[in-house]
Every structure is written in structure tokens, then in C-alpha cells.
Amino acid sequence: MDSHIVTRYDGTAVNCLTGSYSVLAGIAGRPVEEQTVFERGDGYLFQAGLDESGYPEYIFPVEEAGALGMARSGFTVHKEPIDFDAPGPHLEALLERHGAVIVWVNTAHLNYADVYRDNNPYLHAVVVRGIAADHGHVDVHDSLVVGTQPFSCRAVVTFDDLVRAAADRIKSDAHDAMGFFYAVSDDLRADGPAVPGADGTAAAGEGRPDGAELSGALTRQAERFFAEARFREAIRRYQALCEECFAGPAERAALGARRLFHHASVLYAVPSLRLMARSLQVAGASERSLALHDEAARHWEAMGVLALRHEATSAPSVRKRITQRFEQLDDVTARLWESVAADSGVRHRS
């Protein structure tokens, strides 16, 4: 049996890992929305670096945010090195104990979707929900297949494909998490109701965060934005990496522009801001914060359009407008987090 899609769904996660954690929580019997993982995991903070292929990327700290979001929702994340000498029995034992696991994979070996076969490989997280008695294949839930029309799916994957995908290690500046199975256990069900912590997050466990919790989560992220250089300087660093890429060979510059489009409009910046809009509204954010958020979203949408124009034309005038747009984004992002902090009376030093 070859790897193949069993069921295809139109709905997708915003991110493969946070979406996969949401799937694990549901399988554990206490659903947690992906947006909640973002909110409790400080997932609205972004950093910049190089991706698996050495191209610029602008991304939230995925592993850190996912683990924090699950912990603050009352789950423990278990990270176990894969026993590549006996991966079948190891996976079977984990599935019997936890019901499902997440594994980071190299998409070069995911043969159930054309988009994985036809594009450069990258790091991707999928959920394994079952394994055949003869260990010949596994049942996989892929929460985000990124293509012209993104989708999610349930797929049958040959066990050999899964092992190759998990063992063929690639990494980026933001991700180096291959070689492990990730599972979750529900602390609230095991130990009874959580006791609120000093920051109010431990009480989060059940259901969607209320306005007070969201206000605290957004304030915490505002404080971290100004305290941690990786977040405060992320847009400027991303700009420098993109400009260096655009100054290189024509093929690399064109692909770098296409990656900028994907990071701005498809994968990270705009999708994250859509989630943040709902968080700000529930938290009772000020009109100023909401307006600054909308301004940031418009700039990222415009950046995506400029990136496609740069890919098509390499025109100096387009590159100049990209530079100007980065400067506007750096400014409005700082003002947005400053306004979020001010909503709760927190002051900072720029």
C-alpha cells in the first residue's frame, strides 16, 4: 500500500504544530482551540532568521509557543527521543499510552500529497493517530497542507515513509526538533482543578480564555516584546536578511521574494494578526490598539503584493517600496505593543 490521502478537509490550522497540539488535546478528551494555544503560548511574538533552505523567514517561536500554550492550558508535553532501532514498537507503545503523538518530519518523504513531492522539502509537524498491527502503515492527521488551495487531511502513510521522514534531519534557525515523538497528558483530569498562578495563566485550563486572561496574556507579550531583542528587532533583522537575499543571484532573489510573500500573506504574519484581532476584541483593547492592529495587517498584506511584484520584475522601484514598507511595519508594530501595554497601565522603555 502506498501513502495516500483518505479524507481531505477545507479547514486548516494556522500553523502545523499549534494545530497538531489542538488535535492532541481533542483526542485527550479536553479540546483546546489552536487560537488558545497561540494566546497562552505568547504566539503573537515574532522573530527572524533563516529557514531550512537558508532563506529569510519571519516566524513565531513555534516549539516554545506550542509547549507554553499547552502547559498554560493544563497539559504536560512529553518529548521522547525516537528509538530508530525499534521505531514500530516504540510508536505502538506511545499510542497505547497517549492515543496520538506529534512528530516533526522532512516533507521530502511525505508521498501522499503532490505539494510535498513537487516542492523543496521543509520541516513539518503531523499527528500520528494509529499504527497497523503489522507496522506496515500509520494513520496521520496533517493539519496544514500548504498549496495553491491549502487544506488539511487524514492520510495513510507507509511506516517506511514515516521513519524516513522523521530520520532525514533538516533544521532552521527557529526549528531543530526532529528525532522526537511529542505526546500530551491532561494535568487537570489527573490532578483535579488547577490552582491559579500569580500571573493568572494556570487557571486557564478549561475552555476559551476570558477577557481578563486575554488582557493579561497580551500585556505579558507586550512586556516581552520590549524586553527581548529577538522580538523587538525581528522586523529589522528580517528586512536585512531579505535585502541580502535580493542582492544575490536572480534565481535566489526571485525565490526569496516568493518566500517573503508566503511569510507575509499565507503562513505567518497576516494569519497571526487575524487571530490577534479576535484576542484584542475579547480582551477589551482600546480603539487605538485595534486601529494600530488593522494598520499592521494592511502593511503586511501590501508587503505580500510587493513581494510578488518583485519576484516578477526585480524592479528597483519595487524593492524601494519594500524597504519603505519594512520601515512602516517596524514602527507600527512597536506602537501596537506600546498601546497594548498602555491598555493595562504598563509602561516600558523603548
Does the structure show a pLDDT above 50 at 28? Answer: yes
How many C-beta atoms lie closer than 10 Å to residue 144's C-beta? 22
Please check whether residue 128 is in contact with residue 162, taking contact to mean a CB–CB distance below 8 angstroms: yes
pLDDT for 204: 39
Please check whether residue 89 is in contact with residue 16, taking contact to mean a CB–CB distance below 8 angstroms: no
Query: By percentage, how much of the chain surpasses pLDDT 70?
Result: 93
pLDDT for 293: 98
Q: Which of the four pLDDT bands, split at 50, 70 and 90, describes residue 249?
A: very high
pLDDT for 332: 98
Residues 6+ apart with CB under 8 A from 168: 106, 108, 109
pTM (2 decimals)? 0.90
- Reported as a single tens digit per residue, the pLDDT across 144-200 is 999 888 999 999 999 999 999 999 998 877 778 899 999 999 998 754 433 333 333
Report DSSP state, residue 1. -
Give the number of C-alpha atoms closer than 13 A to the C-alpha of residue 316, restricted to the C-beta side.
Answer: 0
Which of the residue ranges 73-82, 225-234, 269-278, 341-350 would you say has the lowest mean pLDDT? 341-350
Q: What is the mean pLDDT of the segment spanning 105-128?
A: 94
Give the number of C-alpha atoms closer than 13 A to the C-alpha of residue 72, restricted to the C-beta side.
Answer: 27
In the chain, what are the helix, strand and coil shares in percent, each to the nearest 5?
55, 15, 30
pLDDT for 192: 40
pLDDT for 120: 85
The span from the CA of 74 to the CA of 30, in Å, is 10
Query: Which structural domains are found in the chain, ordered by start?
Result: 4-191 (3.90.70.10), 211-343 (no CATH)
pLDDT for 163: 98
- Indicate the average pLDDT of the chain: 92
pLDDT for 36: 96
- Reported as a single tens digit per residue, the pLDDT across 295-326 is 999 999 999 999 999 999 999 999 999 999 99
Report the 3 state secondary structure along 2-53.
CCEEEEEECCCCCCHHHHHHHHHHHHCCCCCCHHHHHHHCCCCCCEEEECCC
pLDDT for 346: 57
